[in-house]
Structure 1
Amino acid sequence: MAIPSAASGDRGTDAGLKDVVVRTTGAAGAAIGQLASGLATAAAAVLVLVWGAVAVVTSLVGVGLLMAPAVLRALHALARRERQRLGRWGPEVVAPDPPPVRLRLALVDPTTRRELRWLVRHATLGLALGLLGVYLPVSAVRDSTFPLWWRLAPGDATSTSLGFGTAHSWPDAFAVLLLGVGWIAIILGLTPGMARLQAEPGRRLLAAGPDTDLSLRVAELTATRAAALDAHATELRRIERSLHDGTQNRLVTVTVLLGAARRMAARDPAGADEILERAQSAAEQALAELRTVSRSILPPVLADRGLAGALSGLAANCAVPCHVEVDVPERCAASVEATAYFVVAEALTNIAKHSGAGAATVTVNGRGGRLRLRIEDDGRGGADEDGGSGLTGIRRRVAAHDGTLRVTSPVGGPTSLEVDLPCGS
């Protein structure tokens, strides 16, 4: 019985520690990005809140009543933007029915009241957390690198990001470095919780309440499910045609040729050898077609090399020079990765056939339970879903996973496809 060596145990410990460091760093980086994006909507929330306060005060002389519909529209638009932001960083926030913009109806509308409560919290707590989310990494970089440039700073300049203290010696500079290390520890330990705290009011107050009619959402999901079933049936018919018209016919040819060669073997060995060569060629073509069909169902490269390797293979085989950037820390469900693979494959095929582009870019990011793809080219643009460009099939694949597809393709280019998919099954 083999006894594990101490070295192998140390390697396992190092690998586990490295995995923890990577996960912690990735979570902190994602949290900083979420806090920074929340700062943008929080700043807008402050403006809307001030505008609303001005409308309330001036309503005593009648001017505020005229501003009320515009304030309400701005509130609802900002709430929609926040739902979209939260959906990019986590589970989707299901929107309620469109709230009214007439003042009399808005005063008794529960959705408007919930949005107002969110507005106050996001303009205060959300703004403070967003500012911290931006301030902490800047302070960490500044203080942790202070020993590298402290001699270049003016003698009376403050040495710390907190605005106090001056450095006149190397010990002072390294004391600032320790403060930078403290900032890094705070970032790694607290920013994920700060991001959740910033998002909590929006997820709780902007989501559809228990009294909201979700019939439209149910109808949308029913339609996407029907589209997914239709796409699945279409795919099965395509596979059946490929097997029947291609592989099956070639295998029949192989059978006929083998029978002919068997009958000719005794009286004409040279002719039999020629027929056997033809049978072998037909068998090889049938095998190649079988491989093509199997790869069109679920490419083995996804299981072998992951999404990054599979997309790199697509880019290498594309007729247009293509650059691929993939940043997906964790594997998604196999069906989601397959959908992303086929979306990119179809998009690159369209670019090569129709766009006249000289270069293409594929960018993939996975954060907050979402997988986002962006395929761009510098071609002539003018992509039309009704023109047989394959966009309808892409949209059906994406809708089957309750994802979204946005196509931007003005005449003259460039063309951009943005796909957002949940990472679940």
Structure 2
Amino acid sequence: MPTPDVRLVRRWDLVARARVTLDALEHIVGGVGTTILASLAVLGLVLTALACLVGVGLYLVPGALRILRIVADRERGRLSRWGPDVVLSPDPVPSGLRAAITNPASRREACWALLHMFFGLLVGAVGMTLPLNAVRDLTFPLWWRLLPDGAGVDLWVVNDFPSALAVSALSVGWIVLTLALVPGLARLQAWPGRRLLAADPSTDLALRVAQLTATRAEALDAHAAELRRIERSLHDGTQNRLVAVNVMLGAARRALARDPATADAMLERAQDAAEQALAELRAVSRSILPPVLTDRSLSDALTGLAAGCPVPCRIDVDMPGRCAASVEATAYFVVAEALTNVAKYSQARHAIVTIRRHDDRLDLQITDDGRGGADERRGSGLAGIRRRAEALDGTFALTSPEGGPTTMNVSLPCGL
């Protein structure tokens, strides 16, 4: 006899299967809708082709192809909402008959429309018939008296209420068939679209090259901005203090012959200025690459950041190992800039930094319970965080409604 735990697992499996089936049924109905649109697009192409025989259709080709592209893009959007994204074709709609015939995207879209018009409709009709039959048989005892005498369902003649109840028992079989077949039918209906409407591999490669070109430019911009920041820090802070030390040492040398007591005070001031210059140099060096990342770990470095944050902050790091130094440095600076924004602008009472490593990705999430309304277009360092993340081919997402909370998600590739 199954234990309670086993029965609970089976119950949850059944519920999960029912949800998958309902989701698949929804997509089958949507697929039937696109079969109607595909039929209209094919009809437009056929009429345009016939009109081309007399020359008039040449002017109708661009419009027919635009209608076909709209229908195909609608199917792409439907498929992208259920499973992997189907990238929109970047090719422009051809403007002439010869261009349409030689354009690979238009040919694939026309083949999809013709196939989907028949195959998609057939599969969709089968997929919708199964649950409809289950509902019909299940509710049969409620309306069987409305049928003429001697009528029945599925070759089952019904003459009285017990036989009507027997028909309702058939609904169990329909329900089983629905749960077993509808998800597969939904995938079968979507197969032509995923096969014919997806972009060419060359298109994916072109998009990837464009993305890498953009991220490389952002990396160079981020590098230049970082150099400017270091130069300003050295020029405006450390250099001025070292100049002051040099001036005070010169004044102290001149004062030694006249008033040794004054020289001693100047030397003390020069020593203080030198110590401040050393402190600023250490701060600049830490901003380039925090030594704690080399000496200890990212978790320890972030714990130190949280300890210095005016807003109470909890660090939750779960990393099975170390990542590349550039990745850990980027993660450190992202958290540092985020906590600085939290302290300056958010009016938050608490903040949480969560870091997890999933396979080849390092995922960071910084959440605070402040007033929200953060927008990277207003400055505040958020655009710099995005540039740092995208420079490593990472992603950046910010959710900050008015009233809070604010959640920042950064994902960085870190290798296996």
**TM-score of Structure 1 vs Structure 2, range by shorter chain:** 0.5 to 0.7
Q: How many residues align?
A: 282
Q: Distance in 1 between matches of 2:414 and 2:198?
A: 21
Structure 2 residue 271 is the aligned partner of structure 1 residue 280: yes
Q: Distance in 2 between matches of 1:99 and 1:49?
A: 29
Question: 1:225 Cα shift?
Answer: 1.0
User: Percent sequence identity over matched residues?
Assistant: 61
- Taking structure 1 as reference, are residues 73 and 308 closer, same or farther at Cα in structure 2, changes over 3 Å only? same
Unaligned 5+ residue runs, structure 2?
1-14, 41-70, 92-104, 120-194
Report the residue type matching 1:228 in the other structure. Answer: A
Query: Which residue does 2:340 correspond to in 1?
Result: 349
Query: Which residue does 1:76 correspond to in 2?
Result: 80
Query: Which residue does 1:255 correspond to in 2?
Result: 246
Report the residue type matching 2:251 in the other structure. Answer: A
Q: Distance in 2 between matches of 1:65 and 1:49?
A: 22
Q: Distance in 2 between matches of 1:351 and 1:59?
A: 48
RMSD: 4.0
Query: Which residue does 1:13 correspond to in 2?
Result: none
Q: Distance in 2 between matches of 1:351 and 1:340?
A: 16
Report the residue type matching 1:266 in the other structure. Answer: A
Instruction: Map Cα deviations across residues 257-304 of structure 1 (whole Å, 9 max, x no partner).
Output: 122222222332111110110110010010011011101111111112
SS at match of 2:354: strand
| Mapped contact 1:258–1:279 kept (Cα < 8 A) | yes
Task: Compare relative contact order (CA 8 Å, sep 6+) and give the higher one, 1 or 2.
Answer: 1
| Mapped contact 1:242–1:293 kept (Cα < 8 A) | yes
Query: Which residue does 1:400 correspond to in 2?
Result: 391
Query: Which residue does 1:176 correspond to in 2?
Result: none
| Mapped contact 2:34–2:75 kept (Cα < 8 A) | no
| Mapped contact 1:357–1:377 kept (Cα < 8 A) | yes
Q: Distance in 2 between matches of 1:59 and 1:248?
A: 69
Report the residue type matching 2:79 in the other structure. Answer: L
The structure having more radius of gyration, on CA atoms, is 2
Instruction: Map Cα deviations across residues 166-220 of structure 1 (whole Å, 9 max, x no partner).
Output: xxxxxxxxxxxxxxxxxxxxxxxxxxxxxxxxxxxxxxx9997634353233222
- Taking structure 1 as reference, are residues 108 and 46 closer, same or farther at Cα in structure 2, changes over 3 Å only? farther
| Mapped contact 2:305–2:336 kept (Cα < 8 A) | yes
**What does 1:91-130 align with in structure 2 at a 5 Å threshold?**
96-97=87-88, 108=111
SS at match of 1:371: strand
Unaligned 5+ residue runs, structure 1?
1-38, 84-94, 117-204
| Mapped contact 1:298–1:338 kept (Cα < 8 A) | yes
Q: Distance in 2 between matches of 1:336 and 1:43?
A: 42
SS at match of 1:248: helix
- Taking structure 1 as reference, are residues 76 and 59 closer, same or farther at Cα in structure 2, changes over 3 Å only? closer
Question: 1:409 Cα shift?
Answer: 0.4
Question: 1:364 Cα shift?
Answer: 0.3
User: Could you tell me the TM-score, scaled by structure 1's length?
Assistant: 0.58
**What does 1:202-217 align with in structure 2 at a 5 Å threshold?**
210-217=201-208
**What does 1:21-420 align with in structure 2 at a 5 Å threshold?**
50=25, 73-80=77-84, 96-97=87-88, 108=111, 210-420=201-411
User: Could you tell me the TM-score, scaled by structure 2's length?
Assistant: 0.59
| Mapped contact 2:361–2:413 kept (Cα < 8 A) | yes
SS at match of 1:265: helix
Q: Distance in 2 between matches of 1:412 and 1:272?
A: 59
- Taking structure 1 as reference, are residues 109 and 250 closer, same or farther at Cα in structure 2, changes over 3 Å only? farther
| Mapped contact 2:248–2:270 kept (Cα < 8 A) | yes
SS at match of 2:412: strand
Query: Which residue does 1:92 correspond to in 2?
Result: none
- Taking structure 1 as reference, are residues 274 and 72 closer, same or farther at Cα in structure 2, changes over 3 Å only? closer
SS at match of 1:212: helix
| Mapped contact 1:319–1:352 kept (Cα < 8 A) | yes
Q: Distance in 1 between matches of 2:370 and 2:338?
A: 13
- Taking structure 1 as reference, are residues 213 and 44 closer, same or farther at Cα in structure 2, changes over 3 Å only? farther
- Taking structure 1 as reference, are residues 74 and 391 closer, same or farther at Cα in structure 2, changes over 3 Å only? same
- Taking structure 1 as reference, are residues 299 and 413 closer, same or farther at Cα in structure 2, changes over 3 Å only? same
Report the residue type matching 2:248 in the other structure. Answer: L
Q: Distance in 1 between matches of 2:251 and 2:235?
A: 23
Question: 1:79 Cα shift?
Answer: 2.4
- Taking structure 1 as reference, are residues 300 and 56 closer, same or farther at Cα in structure 2, changes over 3 Å only? closer
Instruction: Map Cα deviations across residues 337-394 of structure 1 (whole Å, 9 max, x no partner).
Output: 1111111111101010101101000000011110000000100000011212211111
Q: Distance in 2 between matches of 1:226 and 1:43?
A: 48
- Taking structure 1 as reference, are residues 44 and 297 closer, same or farther at Cα in structure 2, changes over 3 Å only? farther
- Taking structure 1 as reference, are residues 293 and 58 closer, same or farther at Cα in structure 2, changes over 3 Å only? closer
- Taking structure 1 as reference, are residues 54 and 65 closer, same or farther at Cα in structure 2, changes over 3 Å only? farther
- Taking structure 1 as reference, are residues 334 and 272 closer, same or farther at Cα in structure 2, changes over 3 Å only? same
| Mapped contact 2:364–2:409 kept (Cα < 8 A) | yes
Question: 1:305 Cα shift?
Answer: 2.0
Report the residue type matching 1:400 in the other structure. Answer: A
Report the residue type matching 2:266 in the other structure. Answer: I
Q: Distance in 2 between matches of 1:238 and 1:106?
A: 52
- Taking structure 1 as reference, are residues 281 and 49 closer, same or farther at Cα in structure 2, changes over 3 Å only? same
- Taking structure 1 as reference, are residues 47 and 253 closer, same or farther at Cα in structure 2, changes over 3 Å only? same
